[in-house]
Amino acid sequence: MKISKANTIGEIVAQNYRAASVFNSYKIDFCCKGNRNLEEVCNQKNIPLPKIQEELQNAIQSDDPNQPDYNQWPIDLVIDIIEKKHHRYVTNKIPEISAYLKKICAVHGDNHPELIEIKHLFDQSAGALSMHMKKEELILFPFARKLVKMKAGESNAMESAPFGSVNNPINMMLHEHDTEGERFRQIAALTNEYSPPAGACTTYRVTFSMLKEFEEDLHLHIHLENNIVFPKVAELEKELGHA
């Protein structure tokens, strides 16, 4: 893939996820804000365009057989990965991280009041993500799977969906992704990029480590939806003339 200044950062990562490491190193949001082109991002971040183009080319040309090429996978298989890996991860980690945050707030909250705000933000995210994932699992993803079956000739034409075009629920999901992306940018800032203070206890350090891991998983989770699944589902609906 030749990296052009006109490529959006979302499509660059969709074509090769190894590019994500470069964007992460510059703190460039490729998942929730993946619709910006490379030139725009470089201007905003004051990064020389040729420099990041070279770094991206080096990253995507590196040999990493363990990195799946999700962009080449069938849509329904990517959805399976999202549900069985990422949705399950979020569901399992929320109570664990919440318990750790509650503990360090009780012990260290007086000296580190930012912990109270971090817990508040995470609790908001936990509730919103739980509802968000249910909407995907019960509404958007089943519709996407039906489109895939129609394309393969395994299913007859569907009745009109209650939400009209699939772009309507997709736009809602994109908005909710933006909200969670912003929430975790606030958490990252409050934790000093997940760096515990000097002398922090083991529970403090483990909590920050889990929050960092949660955000990293969320980035991949949102990337798979925003930059791969949603555009392909919208295009498939258009191709089948269902909208």
How far is 156 from 164, CA to CA, in rounded Å? 18
Number of domains in the chain: 2
Is 213 found in the same domain as 143? yes
What is the structure's pLDDT at 201? 94
Is 77 found in the same domain as 53? no
Q: Which domain holds residue 175?
A: 72-240
pLDDT under 50 in the chain at which residues?
A: none
What is the structure's pLDDT at 158? 66
Is 186 found in the same domain as 107? yes
How far is 138 from 140, CA to CA, in rounded Å? 7
Is 95 found in the same domain as 36? no
Is 118 found in the same domain as 16? no
Is 191 found in the same domain as 133? yes
How wide is the angle at C-alpha 14 spanned by C-alphas 227 and 139, nearest 5°?
A: 30
What pTM value is reported for the model?
A: 0.88
Is 145 found in the same domain as 222? yes
66 part of a folded domain: no
CA-closest candidate to residue 1, choices 24, 19, 22: 19
pLDDT per position as a tens digit, 25-43: 998 999 888 889 999 999 9
2 part of a folded domain: no
Asked if residues 13 and 68 have their Cβ atoms less than 8 Å apart, the reply is no
CA distances from 95 to 106, 130, 169, 191 (A): 17, 12, 28, 20
